[in-house]
Amino acid sequence: MPAAAVAGVWLYHGLWCKLLGGCPEQATIVGEVPGLGGRRAKTVLLSLGLVETALAGWVISGVRPRLAAATGTALVVGMNTGGLLFGRRHIPAPKALVLENLGFIAMAWLAAESDRVAVGK
């Protein structure tokens, strides 16, 4: 089930990396965004983690899969843009990050179409 793979990625990045602090480099990158130092960065990071975790649930539910894919795409593009503009020095392989995320976005859209066709939406 492609949706399970997509949901798993969202859950990993939202719950593990951001909410539980398993990927401290993400906090460092968010802290580089102008105006988001210290406590604000932590609040933004936790908010992103909640959004990503909720998106995992949305994707796995199969409800409005195209909208879920579009929302996820916007989130990935926004986070990558911010990370590359402000925290690039903390990203060890920026080109690989972009390629990885392009593949993830493609997988999200394939999962959305798969779910849509499977339920006749």
Mean pLDDT, residues 19-41 taken together? 94
Q: What percent of the chain has pLDDT over 90?
A: 89
Mean pLDDT, residues 99-107 taken together? 98
Type of residue at 105: I
Q: How many domains does the chain contain in total?
A: 1
87 close to 41: Cβ distance less than 8 angstroms: no
Q: Say yes or no to pLDDT of 118 above 70.
A: no
Domain around 53: 2-118
Distance CA 111, CA 3 (A): 5
Distance CA 48, CA 67 (A): 18
> What's the pLDDT at 120?
53
